[in-house]
Chains A and B, each alone.
Chain A
Amino acid sequence: MSDPRATGSARYAEDFELPGMLHARIVRSLFPHARVVRVDASAVPESCIVLTPDDVRDLSPYGCQIEDQNVLAERARHVGDPVAAVAAPTPEQAEEAVPLVEIDYEQLPAVFDAVEAARPGAPLLHETAAAGGAAAYFAMRPQPGTNICHRFRIRHGDVDAGFAEADAIVERMYRIAGAQHAHMEPHACVAHWDGNRLELWTGTQTPFSMRDDLATIFGIPPEAIRIVSLPMGGSFGAKTFVRTEAIAAALARKAQRPVKLVLPRSEEWQTLNRHPATVTVKLGARADGTLVASQTTCYADTGAYADCGPGVAQKMGFAAPGPYRIPNVRVDAYCVYTNLAPNGAFRGYGQMQSTWARERALDTLAEQLGLDPVELRLRNIVRDGDVYCTGETLHDVRFAECLEAAAAAVRWSEGRRGKGIALVMKGMQTPSRAAIAIERDGDDYVLRCATTEMGQGAKRALSLEAARLLGVDVARIRFPDPDTSLVPYDTRTTSSRSTYMMSRALAEAVRDPRGYGEIRNEGGLDPDTGQGIASTHWHQGAAAADVEVDEETGKVTVTHLHTTTYAGRVVNRLGAELQTEGSMIMGLGTALFEEVAFEDGQVINANLSDYATPSFADVPTRFTYELIEEDGADVHGLGETALPPVPPAVGNAVASLGIEVDELPLKPETVLAAMKVRV
C-alpha cells in the first residue's frame, strides 16, 4: 500500500472539524494607517456572530517578542489589519457577511520603507515601547521616539583603524525584496471553549509559544489551554506564533460554539511575509586579500507589528560578517516598523538577506583586488578553533571543504565566466530547550514531544532515530500529533533545530529509566556589543551557480546549480535530500523572481499567478548537491542551509559577466538596467 500522501488519506489542519462549528472570516482594514471611528454590524444577518473591538477590550495585547498587537485593531497599522471578524454557519455565509460590516476610518500618515521609517520625524506606528513577549530570548533595545523596535550591535576590534590599514575598500548598499511563504495549505485552525478551558487545533510550528501567547491574551493560566498541532501542508516559517488563532478563539468565546478559521489565499499576503531589507556592507582588505575590517548596517522591515522581527534582525546582524577571519567588525542591525503587513520567520531567517549582501560585496572586493573570488574567500576563511566576532569559539568547521567542493562542482578552475560562488554561516536557536517522553504501549513505543510536522520530515527522522536507539523496527514507533496537554515543553520547531536538539533529548530518554529526556543549549548575545554565544551549533554550506543572461531581455537562466552542505551524521537520507533540494529551489525563487510588490502599502500581487513560485520548469537542467557526512559527528539540521547561499551564487555569476546587480530578485528589468552600465 502506498504512503498516505499518495493515497489521498493524509490529513492536515485544514481538514479538522468539530460538530456544530461556525466558519469565520476576518474584516480587514482598507487603509495602511487609520483610526477605526465606527464599526456598524447592523446589516449582518442574525445567524452570524460579529466580533468587534468592543468584544475584545478585555483581552491583552500580544506578540511573541514585543506585545504590540491587539486581537482586533482600533488603529489599523497596515492594509489588511484585522478590524472585525464574523462567524456563520457556512463559509459562504461568513464570506457574504464581511462586506456588510461597515467601518468608518480616519486616515493617518503612513510610511512604507524601513530606512525612511527609522529616521526621526517619520510617522510613528507605536508611540510607546511595549514589553517583551513570552518568546523573547534576548533583551529588546527599542529606540524611543522612533519606529526602531530593536537595535542589535556587534563591536569587535576597531573598524576605523582596520579601514585605515586597508589597500582596498568596497562599500555598497543591497536591497532584498519581501517574499511570501506560499505554503500550499492556508493557515487553518479550530477553536473551542470548554468552560474556561481553551482548546485549539491548528497547524503551527510553535505549539508552546502559541499556548503562552494565548494565555497572555485571555488572561488565563497556560495550563488552561490545550494546543494540538496538526500536520501542515507546508509552512516555511509562516505558521509560527499567533496568526489567526486569537481571533478564532475570541469568536468561539462570543459564539459559545467551536469556530473554524481558514484564510483565503489572498489574505496570506496580509498575514505574514519575509522581511524586506536594506543592508549596507563595507569591507576593507590588504592588497594580498587579507580582510582587515567589516562594517554592516541592516534595516529589517518588520511591518506593522514586531512579531519575531527583533530576532530576525539580530540574526541578520550576527550572521553578516560570515565565516571569515576579520579582526575588526562592526554591525548595527535595526528592526523597524512600517505600515506594511507584518514580516516574520521565513526559511533562512534574516541570514539570507545579510548573506546576499556580504557575498556580493566579497566578489566586488575580489574584482577590485584582482583576485579570484574563491581564493579571496579561502585566504580569510575560518578554521576549527577560530574565534568569531561574537567571542565564541567555532568547532567542527567545514567551510573550506564546502567552498572547495562547490567550486569543483562547477569546474571553477576551467574558467569562471558565468559562474558564481557563495558561503553561508547560519545560526541555530540559542538558547533553547527540547524534551521528549517515550511511552510503552504493548509492543509499540510512543514518542511524546512537541516537534511538529510541516513536510520537513521531522516525524520520520525522529522515528528512525528512536528505532535505531531502541533497537526495534521503525514500524513499532508511533508519533502522535503534538498536544501541549500531553507532551513536555519544547521551544519550537524552527531554525532547523529539531533533528539536532530533539534527537539528543531522545538519546537521553532512551537512557533514562522513566523514558524522559531533556536537553538545553545555553547562550545568547549582549544586544549592545554582540558578545556571547550566538549559536551553539552553526549550519555551514556553499552554493555555486553557472548562468546565462539573455542580452535582449535580461532574463537570467541558471544552467547549473550546486550546493555543498555540511550534514554531519545523516539520520533520514531521503529527508536530507528533499530538504536540500527544496531549499535550493526556494533559493532560486528568491534569486530570480519572488517579490511581494506594494503600491501605497497595498500588496498588488496577492495571488499565485502574479506572485510566481518556482515550478518544474525553473529547476536547472544541471541540479546537483553534496552532503558532507562524518560518522560520529553531530546531526546538523538541513532545513534551511542550502537556501541563503543560492541567491548570491547566482548574483555573483551574473556579476562575472560584468552585470553588477545589488538588488534581489534578479528580475529581467533589473538585470537589463544593470547591463546598461555594464563594466
Chain B
Amino acid sequence: MKLRVRINGADHELEARTDESILDVVRRELGLLSVRETCGIGVCGACTVLLDGEPVSGCLLLAPLADGREITTVEGLGGDDPVQQAFSDAHAFQCGYCTPGMILTAKRLLEETPQLTEDDVRAAMSGNLCRCGSYVKIVEAVLQAANA
C-alpha cells in the first residue's frame, strides 16, 4: 500500500505492507534508525514513536493505522530540544539504545504535566525499560527538563 504520513514535519508517501509495523517502515524507508526493536511485543518502549503527539509502541502499530496521521521520532526533535539537552547534561544513558524512546515518552509527559515529582516520573516512564539501569539519572534528566 501507499502510506501517506507526516513524519518529523515532512509529508511522505511510503511503500508499506499492510501487515508490517511502523517501526519497520520508518527504519527501512526513511532510515530513522533511532526507532529500535527490543522486545517486539510492546513491553520495553525502545520503539516508542509519537503518533499525533501520543507515545505508542512502534513495534505494535501496524503501518496502515498511521495513514493520514503524524509521527514524530527523536530525529524530529532536532537535537536542541530541552529534553534531549537534559538527557545529555544528566548523562542519562549508558549504551543509549533505549534513550530515544525514553526522550519521546518524557517529552509527552512534560507537555501533559509540567509540575512533576520523582514519583510521577517513575510511574509515567515505567513502560520504558533500560537494561543498563540508568534509571536514577533518567529521572534526574526529566526533572531537570521540567524545571528548564
Contacts and interface: CB of A to CB of B under 8 A. Distances in A.
A12 interface: yes
Interface string A212-248: 0000000000000000000111101000000000000
A455 B80 contact: no
A456 B131 CA distance: 12
Nearest to B94: A455
Interface residues of B, number: 50
A454 interface: yes
A6 B36 contact: no
A185 to B, nearest CB: 5
A265 interface: yes
Interface in A578-626: 578-579, 581-586, 607-609, 613-617, 619, 623
Contacts of A181: 131
Interface string A435-458: 000000000000000000011110
Interface in A1-44: 1-12, 14-15
Contacts of B133: 581-586, 614
Interface string B81-97: 10011011001011111
B65 interface: no
B51 to A, nearest CB: 17
Contacts of B57: none
B97 A184 contact: yes
Contact of A619 (B40, B128, B136): B136
A552 B126 CA distance: 25
Given A184-B97, A457-B94, A619-B136, A6 B84 contact: yes
Interface of B is mostly: loop
Contacts of A8: 32-34, 73-75, 100
Contact of A578 (B39, B121, B132): B132
A15 B99 CA distance: 16
Contacts of B132: 234, 455, 578, 582
B23 interface: no
B104 to A, nearest CB: 10
Given A234-B132, A265-B38, A581-B133, A6 B88 contact: yes
Interface residues of A, number: 51
A3 B87 contact: yes
A7 B79 contact: yes
A11 B95 CA distance: 10
A7 B75 contact: yes
A581 B94 CA distance: 11
Given A9-B75, A184-B46, 9 more contacts: A5-B96, A6-B99, A8-B100, A12-B95, A265-B37, A455-B93, A607-B41, A609-B43, A616-B123
B122 A619 contact: yes
Contacts of A4: 96
Interface in A186-236: 186, 231-234, 236
Contact of B39 (A454, A609, A614): A609
A140 interface: no
A183 interface: yes
Nearest to A625: B136
Nearest to B124: A616
Interface string B41-78: 10110100000000000000000000000000111010
A1 B44 CA distance: 27
A613 B129 contact: yes
A581 B87 contact: no
Given A8-B33, A184-B38, A233-B36, A456 B94 contact: yes
